[in-house]
Amino acid sequence: MNIDPRLHQQINDHPYPLVFATISGAHLYGFPSPDSDFDLRGIHLLPLEEIVGLKEGRETIEKSGIYDGMEIDLVTHDARKFFGLMLKKNGYVMEQVLSPLIVHTTPEHEELKAIAPTCLTKYHAHHYLGFAATQWKLFQKDCHSVDTGPPRVKPLLYVYRVLLTGIHLMRAGEIEANLAVLNETFNLPYIPELIERKVSGTEKGTLDQADLVFHEREYERLRVELEQAFEQSRLPENASGGAALNDLLIRLRLK
């Protein structure tokens, strides 16, 4: 994927130095619509005086809007907060660190990617089970709402993306967020059509006829499969990367 120069401008405009910035969301997951926004995620570094002084710096920077005709949603956390999230079994931040869609990187980002696998545990399954349940509720709400019209493809794709990412993590011990890549292993026949509907349509693209019974059965089957993969996973119960993250944080602060 070629990185649009307008994304680089967001890095230049950021109020703090960045350790990395990557693209998340539908572009990372492999099913962006023509009108999908760009989700930028990353780590910023507060200066020492905004950590030890009375005036605290901004631990989280959030910005969204239309910039030069591009819809952008940017969220970055200070390194200390982000590293803490990496140790809290948060699959979302792990996907951001390891995203192949890199807008800005540094040598410390490369270190972080090397440390990331030591922060993965079998309990990351709970993150993906919870996220899938939330997305499934959104899909069901679409299916039963008379106000929103036909159910949207987007929440259903998120359900499958999250479940397959979780199952793959439990089995292979690695993060893979792209649904098309995941389906090369899982070979679910309905995934390519769903992706095509989303990619060739709009962000609010809908299903012609939602086979709710079929998709509910698939959701339950894959949810159980993720729970079983959790039970059988060889991933550790606890992260071992805390000391390495602490060392990296100190070096970043003193840089």
Q: Please tell me the distance from the alpha carbon of residue 158 to that of residue 134, in angstroms, as a whole number.
A: 10
The predicted structure's pLDDT at residue 250:
96
Extract the tokens encoding 203: 């962000």
The predicted structure's pLDDT at residue 213:
84
CB atoms near residue 176 (< 10 Å): 16
In 3D space, the residue among 208, 199, 202, 212 whose CA is nearest the CA of residue 156 turns out to be: 212
Q: Please tell me the distance from the alpha carbon of residue 86 to that of residue 242, in angstroms, as a whole number.
A: 9
**What pairs with residue 76 in β-bridges?**
42, 61
Task: Evaluate if residue 98 carries a pLDDT over 60.
Answer: yes
The predicted structure's pLDDT at residue 119:
98
- Of residues 26 and 205, more confidence is placed in 26
Task: Evaluate if residue 210 carries a pLDDT over 60.
Answer: no
Q: How would residue 140 be classed by pLDDT, with cut points 50, 70 and 90?
A: confident
Residues contacting residue 45 through CB under 8 Å, at least 6 positions apart: 16, 17, 18, 19, 78, 79, 252, 253
The predicted structure's pLDDT at residue 34:
85
Task: Evaluate if residue 100 carries a pLDDT over 60.
Answer: yes
Q: Please tell me the distance from the alpha carbon of residue 158 to that of residue 151, in angstroms, as a whole number.
A: 13
Helices (H), 43-190: 49-52, 79-86, 91-98, 107-115, 124-144, 153-172, 179-186
Every domain of the chain and the residues it spans: 5-119+239-254, 124-232
Task: Evaluate if residue 154 carries a pLDDT over 70.
Answer: yes
Q: What is the mean pLDDT of residues 218-245?
A: 97
Q: What is the mean pLDDT of residues 61-71?
A: 93
Enclosing H/E stretch for 20: strand 18-24
Site of tokens 């989700």: 39
**CB 57 within 8 Å of CB 47:** yes
Q: What is the mean pLDDT of residues 177-193?
A: 97
The predicted structure's pLDDT at residue 198:
87
SS3 201: coil
Extract the tokens encoding 136: 């499934």
Q: What is the mean pLDDT of residues 94-111?
A: 98
Q: What is the mean pLDDT of residues 143-154?
A: 69
Extract the tokens encoding 237: 């119960």
5-119+239-254 homologous superfamily: Beta Polymerase, domain 2 (3.30.460.10)
Task: Evaluate if residue 80 carries a pLDDT over 80.
Answer: yes
Extract the tokens encoding 199: 């990619």
**What pairs with residue 24 in β-bridges?**
39
For the ranges 108-122, 150-164, 219-233, the lowest mean pLDDT is seen at 150-164
- The pLDDT tens digits of the residues spanning 16-60 come to 999 999 999 999 999 998 888 999 999 999 998 899 887 888 999
- The pLDDT tens digits of the residues spanning 191-204 come to 999 999 888 875 55
The pTM score is: 0.92
Task: Evaluate if residue 123 carries a pLDDT over 70.
Answer: yes
